[in-house]
Structure 1
Amino acid sequence: MSQAFVQDLVDHASQRFRAGGRFAYHYSRGKLGYDTIFHDILRRGLLSHTPRVLDLGSGQGSLFSWLLAAQQLAAQGHWPGDWAAPPQPQALRGVELMGRDVNRAVRAFGATHPVVRIELGDMTRAELGRPDAITILDALHYVDYRRQSALLARIRDALPHGGVFLTRIGDASAGWRYQMGLNIDRAVTFARGHRLSRLYARPLAEWRAELESLGFEVDSRDMSGNKPLANVMLHCRVR
């Protein structure tokens, strides 16, 4: 992976968050620059053929800015030859529970962006529509087990055949590595100005079993990099 190209992506994607203030800007740079799941999404083309994306727990919209920056650079002829095809987002909708993050998103994208819309709402109650892909990055464990299962079933019903559900979870069976990730998650949540709440994690095997029972093909991939964590990306496709 070209580090120079990734840095160019980070510069483009984070620039719009300057309008949201210092925290929004530096948070986006740190998130997009060092969180490898964003790099993997582009390198492997996990959202390359899903023009309509719904991001539940979208925060200030960092994922959307990342996809738009990738589309822009590719259109200018800048794209690594060994990466999958770049994304072509047409409709990006986010649902976020925290008003502060929604306000940051509005300042970054504007209230009438032609592609991006981020709204205040509860992912467990929001209308899902008919997207090509649904993402939940580091937010599903804030939902209790009963509502987790209900939401996963609704996600499956909302997606077409071949549709993508992309999420990242902490593997609760990973012992101290999971606990370390839990502590980092709590620290970031607090820094974003949100209260700390109870978390509802599961072992990786349990996540896989439930998703497969709903009709997903599940590819799991460790997302901890060189860090002693237990972060796992689940790339799920409707059979």
Structure 2
Amino acid sequence: MNQKTFLKRLLDEAALPFRSGGHFAYHYARGKLSSDCIFRELLRQGIFPAGGRFLDLGCGQGSLFSWLDAARRLHDQGIWPPDWPPPPRPERLDGIELMQKDVDRAAESFGADHPLIRIRQGDMCSSDFGQAQAITILDALHYFDHEGQRDVLQRIRQALPEGGLFLTRVGDASAGLPYHLCNWVDHTVTFVRGHRLPRLYCRTLREWVSLLESLDFQVSTMSMTEGKPFANVMLHCKAGA
């Protein structure tokens, strides 16, 4: 099975639970998972730890979790690219999402008795994170002010063990037109999901890295645009000693 065929199979598996969540949930998941290169790269590069509790903040309807769960199932069936590392096998996939509509879609899609996935309504600015091996925030840090960003990131660091993973994606405010295109797409997607258009609190890439390093993270960066005219950057952050 070539990579293109495998990714189509993985997409079908990951989108399937959202049929129970309704027409919008299903097609939103398919569109997001098929068009955004970060989901493929998380698996192809083996970015997540092998196991433990994963926490996704601002998780939406849980598309990332469905992707990881589908990857595990396919790997168990022997359907996996030979040059990719094995997918992670988390013990729990916990999500916190502010928007009740997304939480409701997740509940309809995964049900109350899913063995791994739990998504609850909450505000990452005030929710208890507990302890986790990996924490993600994809495209959501810029929705709250700079003081709130620092507080959330500091609490994330406290929730991770030494060597734990924090993964986020941000827009680079120093990137000119690609940055403004990112913001336009962000506003459009937020509106389509049925939410108010937010005020955005962005930083340059240098500022994001400096902030994270000041909170005892070792940071590496990777462009996540794949030829698109955007300014998306993934920040791979390892908790220090």
TM-score (normalised: structure 2): 0.97
Question: Secondary structure in 2 aligned to 1:173?
Answer: coil
Aligned to 1:223: 224
Counting matched residue pairs gives 239
Aligned to 2:85: 84
1:42–1:48 CA contact under 8 A, matched in 2: no
- Report the residue type matching 1:105 in the other structure: A
- Report the residue type matching 1:23 in the other structure: F
Take 1:86 and 1:96, find their aligned partners in 2: how far apart are those partners? 24
Take 2:8 and 2:49, find their aligned partners in 1: how far apart are those partners? 20
Alignment of 1:99-118 (within 5 A): 99-118=100-119
- Report the residue type matching 1:29 in the other structure: R
Aligned to 1:37: 38
Take 1:70 and 1:38, find their aligned partners in 2: how far apart are those partners? 11
Take 1:230 and 1:63, find their aligned partners in 2: how far apart are those partners? 21
Take 1:129 and 1:15, find their aligned partners in 2: how far apart are those partners? 30
Take 1:116 and 1:197, find their aligned partners in 2: how far apart are those partners? 28
Question: Secondary structure in 2 aligned to 1:111?
Answer: coil
1:48 offset after TM fit, Å? 4.0
- Report the residue type matching 1:210 in the other structure: L
Aligned to 1:133: 134
Aligned to 2:121: 120
Aligned to 2:95: 94
Aligned to 1:192: 193
Aligned to 2:25: 24
Aligned to 1:236: 237
Give RMSD over aligned pairs: 0.9
- Report the residue type matching 1:49 in the other structure: A
1:85 offset after TM fit, Å? 2.0
Aligned to 1:8: 9
Structure 1 segments (4+ residues) deviating >6 Å: none
2:49–2:134 CA contact under 8 A, matched in 1: no
- Report the residue type matching 1:131 in the other structure: A
Aligned to 2:165: 164
Alignment of 1:58-69 (within 5 A): 58-69=59-70
- Report the residue type matching 2:25 in the other structure: A
Aligned to 1:151: 152
Structure 1 unpaired stretches of 5+ = none
Take 1:67 and 1:12, find their aligned partners in 2: how far apart are those partners? 10
1:122 offset after TM fit, Å? 0.1
1:212 offset after TM fit, Å? 1.1
2:220–2:236 CA contact under 8 A, matched in 1: yes
Sequence identity, in percent? 56
1:65 offset after TM fit, Å? 0.2
Aligned to 2:212: 211
1:111 offset after TM fit, Å? 1.6
Structure 2 unpaired stretches of 5+ = none
Take 1:74 and 1:48, find their aligned partners in 2: how far apart are those partners? 16
Take 1:127 and 1:46, find their aligned partners in 2: how far apart are those partners? 25
Question: Secondary structure in 1 aligned to 2:59?
Answer: coil
- Report the residue type matching 2:17 in the other structure: R
Take 2:4 and 2:126, find their aligned partners in 1: how far apart are those partners? 40
Take 1:73 and 1:17, find their aligned partners in 2: how far apart are those partners? 18
Take 1:201 and 1:86, find their aligned partners in 2: how far apart are those partners? 32
1:170–1:181 CA contact under 8 A, matched in 2: yes
1:81 offset after TM fit, Å? 1.3
1:220–1:234 CA contact under 8 A, matched in 2: yes
1:48–1:86 CA contact under 8 A, matched in 2: no
